[in-house]
Chain A
Amino acid sequence: MSWRIAAPVAEFGCFRSAFQFPWVVGVCAMQIFLVPIFAQETSGGLKGLSLQQLGEIEVTTATKQPVQVNRTPAAIYVITQEDIRRSGATSLPEALRLAPGVDVARIDSVKWSIGIRGFGSRLSRAVLVLIDGRTVYSPLFHGVYWEVQDTMMEDIERIEVIRGPGGTIWGANAVDGVINIITKRAKDTHGALIAGGGGGTNQAFGEARYGGQAGDVNYRVYGKGFDRGPEEHTDNSNFDDWRREQAGFRTDWTPDNHDSVTVQGDIYKSSMGESNRIFSLTAPFSYISNQVAELSGGNVIASWDRTEDDGSGFHLQTYFDRVNRSQSTQAEYRDTFDFDFVHHFKLLRTQFTWGVGARISLGFVPQIVPTYFFNPNRRTDQLYSFFVQDEIPIVGDKLHLTIGSKVLHSAFAGFDVEPSARLLWAPSGKTSFWAAATRAVRTPSDIEEDLTQISLRNTSPLAYTLASSDPNFQSEVLLGYEAGYRRLISKQFSLDFTSFRNYYSRLSSVEVGQPFLVDSSGSVPYMVYPVTNGNGVKGTTTGFEIIPNWKPASWWRVQPSYSYLHMDLSTLATSTDRGTVASLEGSSPQHQVMIQSYLDLPKKFEFSQTYRYVSSLPAQSVGAYHTVDARVAWHPNRHLEFAVTGQNLLQPHHYEFGGDPGPLVGIRRNFFASVTWRQ
């Protein structure tokens, strides 16, 4: 058994999935396969059909039986295109709600908080997110701007969600988890697709794609756009109106049997309503500004895969990414250039992989308000990395060891090492155990090194908090230990169990300095309470995830899951931090329960529903909630789909996460209809 370069996508730009992180590929084995049950009638009607026509015939499948458990030595969950379609998800965060153990909370219409195994936050600070091998992690705020990450949902092949550290392969910031979004190859998106709909908060949306082939080149182009309305505001501020347009393309050129070259790109433009508190040194000192932020950007990725007859090969990828953000309190203009090379080959009986990477990010962060600025406001950040990994079969197919390490160099933090060791034991095709020990780091970002932020502490007597950054801030470090067990119990039932204990050190803290009085002539004297960031928090997170998969019948699949998380953080004796521990511990749910059900009904109807329970987030003043999403779809033929989706059905609105300066924003019950036509 090899869980190396194996995925069908390996040659076609599934970059880190297949080449840099070979064991992920075993996931393709998770596909549920089919075992024949009943005798056949005559297949005379199929005789005259061509290969192409055969591929277009809809078939009934007998009882589905997973023949083998997934043998990836990591806590990985794959959201398939089918899951996404049947959930009715219209955005990436909505699709990520389908992954067990991922904490996805909607802040308002536009903004999300996403965490894996704790540390949920507006920008998912230690989760690395990749779209077709392009890192969408922002070096300014150490996080992901979820509101600008999008693609055609129909063109996503799958989303791989890795809970736990993946630093050895993916490098910096793959600490709590990795989210790897992989779009289909252009070959799989031939023909036209037009879809649209609206209703509820999803006021209107539409999209179109066309794909085809010219000689050795397969291509597609797409465009999409939507208008989204505000969620529930008790103060009627309704600031979170959102409008977005995006277009993109992908071309895959396969000149011969050894090479494949992909060029792809996207461009987007978005007007996002947001609410920010703005502080000033003169009256009114503090006010809330509801404005529209203008966000735009784009990217181009070029990659080349070469594979030799002996199975060795390389992947070469480079991309350019531009981000423009113009908001009421800040602005950011950033160009990122990235280069990656990965080479793999057989070394004795082992599979050896090595790679180098370089990323250069040029950011300009002009000052918009006097109380919030970066110094310097132009900065070029460089990140260099090198990794080696070897997969060693120890006892034939049964026992595998994967060891490796990444070495990173960033201007922020100097050198960092991210080693890992993973062991897989599969005594039979139906059972596997795995264990892993990993070190991963989150490198410092601009806000921890260059930001000065002044906020009002008290109006009478006048006092400000002055938050400045510390150029000596070090990388946050995780030492993670994981173990997992997978078992195929019967044809209908399988189980995936994972447990973890993570040791965090040097987590970011807020260090309080000595207050001082500013009494310059001609203005009101005020107190200044200085704070700066430090590495003063450490601790552990412990937890487990249980993910059974039950298929009671060929037309019904049930996917329940439960995740438990216990965060036990503390402040170092040397630290003056007061609030960080409570804030981190109280922003991720301790319990999450999800039950997904996918039903195929007669007359070409299908019904899917998701129930979820999320326990309370005291630091966000958000209580525990449970709710249900449901979707009914009808396919009169293979070209058309009509669907009605209902979200958050159990209550008129509920709260999921804080973050906006006003009262909590309620997430509404939402209905929308859609229709899709495929050529």
Chain B
Amino acid sequence: MKSASVKRFAPCVAALLAGILALPLPGQNSKQAAKFNEYQVKAAYLKNFVQFVDWPADSAGAPNEPYPICVLGADPFGAALDGALSGESVNHHPLIPRRLANAKQATSCRVLYISSDEAEVRRGLSAVENASILTVSDYPEFLDRGGMIQFVIDNNHVRFEISLIAARKVGLTLSSELLKIARSVRMNQ
């Protein structure tokens, strides 16, 4: 940093830095202190998704009927999912975690998280093809394969993308709030 032009422009840069430092920093008092593992955040998302999905009237289930949040394939959440769901309910439906041994068990789920594995994704999606089950995965081509919500990591933040047509095909209504927050909403396949 010894070139003459650096010296020449140093005052401008310093002024600019000073100006920007003086701006308020809203992030400093927010929940930034602890970094979470990505799957803790994803587990929290799974719980939140349930609030923004309307199931078709004929499959909403009896009051107090538990809503299983299922994991198919290798479980990346561990205790994080149990923690996120414990004591939580949506419209009087308690949310319960469930690890599936095979894809056939998936039809009893409300939300089906499929591990990021091509074979699991194929089996899982075909098992719930016409069922009103919200499908979620990290698998990179999940939406191409007919999945509904795909997590993506964007600059160390967990975001998600939605395929609206996949949800609509089985009668799920995703609230506009969910669509608004999605990084992208795909309206075709």
Specify the chain A residue showing the minimal Cβ separation from B138: A33
Contacting pair B44 A49 (CB below 8 A): yes
Complex CA–CA separation, A12 to B186 (angstroms): 9
B123 contacts A by Cβ under 8 Å: no
| Nearest A residue to B34, CB-CB | A45
A42 / chain B contacts, CB cutoff of 8 Å: 79-80, 83
Interface residues of B in 140-175 (CB under 8 A from A): 140-141, 143-145, 152-153, 155-159, 161, 164-165, 168-169
A36 within 8 A of B: yes
Chain B CB within 8 A of A257 CB: yes
B189 interface residue (CB < 8 Å to A):
yes
Which A residues between 168 and 209 are near B, CB-CB below 8 angstroms? 185, 187-188, 194, 196-201, 203-204, 206
Report whether B48 and A54 are in contact in the complex, using a CB–CB cutoff of 8 Å: yes
Supposing A40-B37, A55-B181, A61-B153 touch, asked if A309 and B43 sit within 8 A by C-beta, the answer is no
- Please state if A62 and B38 are interface contacts (CB–CB under 8 Å): yes
User: Contact at A43–B28, with CB atoms within 8 Å?
Assistant: no
User: How many angstroms between the C-alpha atoms of A60 and B38 in the bound complex?
Assistant: 6
Query: CB-defined interface of A213-250 with B at 8 Å, one 1/0 digit per residue?
Result: 10000000000000001000000000000000000000
A59 to B41, CA, bound (A): 8
Query: Are B9 and A57 within 8 A (Cβ)?
Result: no
Complex CA gap A640/B10 in Å reads 20
A8 part of interface (Cβ distance < 8 Å)? yes
Q: Is the CB of A198 within 8 A of B76?
A: no
Choose one: A54, A58, A206; the contact of B44 (CB below 8 Å): A54
Give A69-87 as 1s and 0s: 1 = Cβ < 8 Å from B's Cβ atoms.
Answer: 0000000000000100000
A34-B153, A67-B116 given; A196·B16 CB < 8 A: yes
Please tell me if the beta carbons of B186 and A639 are within 8 angstroms of each other in the complex. no
Which one, B17-25, B61-69, B96-104, B126-134, is touching chain A?
B17-25
Instruction: Tell which of B165, B168, B178 has the most Cβ of chain A within 10 Å.
Output: B165
Stretch of A363-371, A567-575, A669-677 with 4 or more beta carbons under 8 angstroms from chain B: A669-677
Pair B5/A59 contact, Cβ less than 8 Å: no
A67 to B74, CA, bound (A): 14
The answer to whether A519 has its CB under 8 Å from any CB of chain B is no
Whether B27 pairs with A637 at a CB distance below 8 angstroms is: yes
Cross-chain contact B41 with A54 (CB below 8 angstroms) = yes
Assuming the contacts A40-B77, A43-B83, A57-B158, asked whether A31 and B140 have C-beta atoms less than 8 A apart, the reply is: yes
- How many angstroms from the CA of A53 to the CA of B30 in the assembled complex? 10
B118-A671 in contact (CB<8A)? no
Give the CA-CA distance A9 to B187 in the complex, in Å. Answer: 11
Instruction: Tell me if B157 and A56 are in contact (CB < 8 A).
Output: yes
Question: In whole Å, how far is A81's beta carbon from the nearest beta carbon of chain B?
Answer: 8
Are A257 and B9 touching (Cβ within 8 A)? no
Q: Is A282 an interface residue (CB 8 A)?
A: no
Give CA–CA (A229, B4) in the complex, Å: 12
CA distance A36 to B170 in the complex (A): 30
Contact A36 B187 (CB under 8 A): no
Rounded to whole Å, the gap between the CB of B179 and the closest CB of chain A is 9
Q: With A68-B141, A204-B9 as given contacts, are A36 and B77 in contact (CB-CB < 8 Å)?
A: yes
Of B34, B48, B76, B118, which one neighbours A50 at CB under 8 angstroms?
Answer: B48
CB distance from A53 to the nearest CB of B (A): 7
Q: Is the CB of B139 within 8 A of A33?
A: yes
**Which residue from B1, B27, B36 sits with its C-beta under 8 Å from A638?**
B27
Q: Is the CB of B37 within 8 A of A640?
A: no
Residue in chain A with minimal CB distance to B18: A675
Instruction: State whether A198 and B187 are in contact (beta carbons under 8 Å apart), knowing that A47-B44, A49-B44, A82-B155 are contacts in the complex.
Output: no
- B1:A199 contact, CB within 8 angstroms: yes
Any A CB within 8 A of the CB of B40: yes
Report whether A671 and B1 are in contact in the complex, using a CB–CB cutoff of 8 Å.
yes
- Does A46 contact B84, Cβ atoms closer than 8 Å? yes
Q: Given A8-B184, A671-B1: A46 and B37 within 8 A (CB)?
A: no
**B9 with A199: CB separation less than 8 A:** yes
Q: Hey, which chain B residues are within 8 Å of A61, CB to CB?
A: 38, 153, 156
Chain A residues positioned under 8 Å from B152 (CB to CB): 31
A307 with B187, Cβ < 8 A, contacts A6-B141, A38-B37, A198-B13 known: yes
Scan residues 36-77 of chain B and give those whose CB is less than 8 A from a CB of chain A: 36-41, 43-45, 47-48, 52, 74, 76-77
- Which residues in A have their C-beta under 8 angstroms from that of B143? 6, 8
Find chain B residues with CB under 8 A from A199 CB. 1, 5-6, 9-10, 13
On chain A, the residues within 8 Å of B52 by CB distance are 51
Closest residue of chain B to A206 (Cβ to Cβ) is: B16
Do the beta carbons of A203 and B36 come within 8 Å of each other?
no
Contact between A62 and B118, CB atoms less than 8 A apart: no
Q: How far is the CB of A33 from chain B (nearest CB, A)?
A: 5
> Which single member of B10, B31, B47, B117 contacts A57 (CB below 8 Å)?
B31
Is A662 interfacial (CB-CB < 8 Å)?
Answer: no
A213 neighbours in B (Cβ, 8 Å):
180
Q: Across the interface, which residues of B come within 8 angstroms of A1, CB to CB?
A: 141, 144-145
B157 and A200 form a contact (CB under 8 A): no
Q: Could you tell me if B36 and A45 are in contact, using CB atoms closer than 8 angstroms? A: yes
B155 CB → nearest A CB, Å: 6
- Greatest chain A CB density within 10 A among B38, B138, B168 is at B38
The 7 A-B pairs of least Cβ separation, nearest first, read A36-B76, A8-B184, A307-B188, A40-B80, A43-B40, A59-B38, A311-B189
A-to-B contact residues, CB < 8 Å:
1-6, 8-12, 28-31, 33-36, 38-47, 49-62, 67-68, 82, 185, 187-188, 194, 196-201, 203-204, 206, 213, 229, 254, 257-258, 260, 307-309, 311-313, 429, 637-640, 642, 644, 669, 671, 673, 675, 677, 679
Q: List 12 A-B contacts (CB under 8 A).
A: A1-B144, A11-B187, A28-B140, A45-B36, A46-B36, A46-B40, A53-B31, A57-B157, A60-B36, A68-B141, A307-B165, A638-B32
